[in-house]
Amino acid sequence: MVKLTDIPGIKIGHAHDLAAPTGCTVILCPEGATGGVDVRGGAPGTRETDLLNPVNYVDKVHAVLLAGGSAFGLDAAAGVMQYLEEQGIGFDVGVTKVPIVAGAVLFDLTCGSYLVRPDKAMGYAACLAAGTQALSEGSVGAGAGATVGKVFGLEHAMKGGIGAACLTAGELMVGAIVAVNCLGDVVNPADGSIVAGAFQQEPFAFLRCEDGMLANAEKTGSRFAGNTTIGAVVTNAVLTKAQATKVASMAHNGYARTIRPAHTLFDGDTIFAIGTGQVAADMNAIGVLAARAVEQAVLRAVTQATALAGFRCYQDISRE
């Protein structure tokens, strides 16, 4: 089976504090990779997304950061910057090389202690871990404090996490890594069944987040907090910035197929896309594989998660 880390030109590392819990995940592209981004959610926390607009100048990124901690977690990018500068990696400005680090954060402050967030040291540690071991999934890295199914309150929510997948078509490789911290439920797109989400304990049953939202459609106000699914699509394809942006857009179909509802006002759903430039391929094929890889990564994020901070996980309920 092909793994995401088999794609040439990238390294991925996690760092986390599982007692908090929170963490970050970094995708390093030491040689630079063409990047794009599509932000669909109504409450994003991001870094360098304007730079990835195809009309702007710099066309290569050297890392993508995914982190918990809400806006505080963007601080982890400083550690990634430090690591890359020490390695002599970045956009050459004469006096030094400035690493281009794009990133996005999710809100996990209500899972465990809000006082612990990804910081510069944690971002640096994720870089040191990149490429040194097999890529872990579940309640690690940016998924350490992730939860899902919060429409009915945190007491009915389950543990989210981070997942990865990689698909191929001939020499073309397209993978995804996604930290799932959605407001809604995660469903199996094959049959629409809920895999993880809002639940009641006695008797156990999923509460169906979309139905709950519709039942309260006439109530207004910010009733939900603590969300956002963030991820990155990585391919060995040759891409322009505009093409990478389109891949990121098509990849959001993977969210729509597996998260109900997706892209709400209370989610900052974001997908980056980076191409390392080894294989020429049809854009439509890349987009199809990207959406499928995101689907699989979302499902793996919740099925590989472990219970933390009092939140039950898929593995708990699947054994019952």
Mean pLDDT of 284-301: 98
Q: What is the pLDDT of residue 217?
A: 78
Q: Is the pLDDT of residue 261 over 70?
A: yes
Dist CA 86 CA 90 (whole Å):
10
Q: What is the pLDDT of residue 233?
A: 98
Dist CA 120 CA 90 (whole Å):
18
Q: What is the pLDDT of residue 36?
A: 97
Secondary structure class of 316 (helix, strand, coil): helix
Burial of 74 (C-beta count, 10 Å sphere; 0-12/13-18/19+): buried
For 129, half-sphere exposure in the C-beta direction (CA atoms, 13 angstrom radius) is: 22
Pick the residue with more confidence: 174 or 219?
A: 174
Q: Is the pLDDT of residue 225 over 80?
A: no
Dist CA 45 CA 192 (whole Å):
30
Mean pLDDT of 121-138: 96
Contacts of 154 (CB under 8 A, 6+ apart): 110, 147, 226
User: In this structure, what token pair is assigned to residue 205?
Assistant: 């049953």
Q: What is the pLDDT of residue 202?
A: 81
Q: What is the pLDDT of residue 216?
A: 77
- Dihedral angle sign, alpha carbons of residues 226, 261, 301, 270: negative
Of 123-127, 196-200, 219-223, the poorest mean pLDDT is in 219-223
What residues are labeled active site?
A: 228
Dist CA 35 CA 222 (whole Å):
33
Q: What is the pLDDT of residue 43?
A: 87
Q: Is the pLDDT of residue 249 over 80?
A: yes
Q: Is the pLDDT of residue 229 over 90?
A: yes
Q: How far is CA 165 from the centre of its chain?
A: 12
Q: Ranked by mean pLDDT, which of 29-33, 149-153, 218-222 comes out on top? A: 29-33
- The 10s digit of each residue's pLDDT in 3-14 is 999 999 999 999
Q: Is the pLDDT of residue 181 over 70?
A: yes
Dist CA 113 CA 111 (whole Å):
7
From 170, 176, 197, 167, select the one nearest 185 (Cα to Cα). 197
Dist CA 297 CA 259 (whole Å):
12
pTM: 0.95
Mean pLDDT of 143-163: 94
Dist CA 119 CA 75 (whole Å):
5
Place of tokens 């179909």: 253
Dist CA 305 CA 285 (whole Å):
30
Residue 41 pLDDT level (bands cut at 50, 70, 90) = confident
Alpha helix (H) residue ranges in the chain: 76-86, 120-129, 209-215, 241-258, 283-303, 314-318
> What is the fold, at CATH topology level, of the domain defined by 9-318?
L-amino peptidase D-ALA esterase/amidase (3.60.70)
Contacts of 169 (CB under 8 A, 6+ apart): 281, 285, 289
Q: What is the pLDDT of residue 259?
A: 95
Dist CA 144 CA 122 (whole Å):
13
Q: Is the pLDDT of residue 221 over 70?
A: no
Residue 319 pLDDT level (bands cut at 50, 70, 90) = low
Residue 224 pLDDT level (bands cut at 50, 70, 90) = low
For 219, half-sphere exposure in the C-beta direction (CA atoms, 13 angstrom radius) is: 9
Q: What is the pLDDT of residue 231?
A: 98
